Amino acid sequence: MTFPDGFLWGAATAAHQVEGGNVTSDFWALEHAPGSMFAEPSGDACDHYRLYREDIGLLRDLGFTAYRFSIEWARVEPEDGFVSRAAIAHYRDVLEACHEAGITPMVTLHHFTSPHWLMDLGGWEYDGTPERFAAYCHMVMDELGPLIPYAATINEANIARLTRRMIEGFTKAPEQAPVGVGRDRPDAASRPNTFLFTWSDTGLEVVKRAHVEARRAIKNASPSTRVGATFALQDYQSEPGGEKAAEERWAESFEDFLPALDGDDFLGVQNYSRVLVGADGTLPHPEGAELTQMGYEFYPQALENVLRRAASAGLPMFVTEHGIATGDDARRVEFVRRALVGLERCVADGVDVRGYFHWSMLDNFEWMLGYAPAFGLIAVDRTTQRRTVKDSARVLGNIARRNALA
């Protein structure tokens, strides 16, 4: 079978991970703080802020039809109340480059990083953040809305709950923590109030309200833009005795957010692996399991399972992130191929999936882990910023050209 007409085949990036020089963001400050939890600073990253036309051209030439990227709030509003016209002009040109190349853009308005000044106000624990975020979204859409057919308000709106669970798991079993990840859960007093560390109930409510307010602002400024949010969704699989715990994990990471999605046009699904759950919580990986550079189990079947469960939201879905960190590109090809077979089964069964965005377009800055994990379809020599297309990019690009699996 072929995929439906208009099915989007794309790759994804996040501004802070690829643009470089995001000096007014909260993460830049954290990267350079004494005793930083980051393995290394982001620095020039992939210099995508300068080389975006080259990168979009590579996607076009490979056969892709879509590009998901983020607009950086810290660039657009580097100081509280000051809007950078230069940043707006830059992102207008990125969008125009997409349209000129025949690439459908999907814009994320917040991908983990925020302006540094927001931290001073209380960050994502601050009650006024939803209104400030909505004002930024309205301003961007008022300027650029006609160029943006799809807008995701917040990337992985549920990530703080997953992060909290992950850190708790590493505290119990530190040998399972990926290299470079802190193994002690920060206490409330020392934890920064950035988006990724918004673990309190108050913070989670701020995030939900920010999505609702942003959706309203986007629709007011650009009624034709379709709006949604993306979620990191694990394939929770229960071992005997873990059935209730697995259901609770799914509920807290997805179902608890459903009221905030009432009025959305689509749901972004992001998946990388599965999690085994027993009566006492997360279980270790099966003995002998193949692991990725992130310490995840190589389990491409997870994508199909998660899409079928997430369909209960009743929204059209895009796979907005899916991929694997590996230095062996042949394993990336196999991972994607097997996952897409499951995606094809979902579509054949009537599950409303309208596009697939691979994470990521470029080998990039992987937050606290620095540049060690290789997620990209395209390698980057960061000394010269030279791009090298991997075989996996060609394989996925050929699938995009055919709009069908071989």
Q: What CA–CA distance (Å, rounded) separates 336 from 356?
A: 11
Q: Which two tokens stand for residue 121?
A: 């106000």
Catalytic residue among 125, 156, 213, 366: 156
Whose CA is closest to 17, among 371, 387, 382, 403? 371
Amino acid 184 reads: D
Amino acid 177 reads: A
- Strand segments, DSSP code E, in 95-166 are 104-108, 150-152
Task: State the Cα angle at 336 between 330 and 340, rounded to 5°.
Answer: 145
Q: Which two tokens stand for residue 193?
A: 């109030």
Collapsed DSSP state (helix, strand, coil) of residue 2:
strand
Residues 6+ apart with CB under 8 A from 364: 13, 14, 17, 18, 45, 46, 371, 375, 376, 380
Residues 6+ apart with CB under 8 A from 316: 265, 266, 267, 352, 353, 354
Quick check: is 156 catalytic? yes
Collapsed DSSP state (helix, strand, coil) of residue 278:
strand
CA 247 to chain centroid, in Å, comes to 23
Tell me which residues are annotated as active site: 156
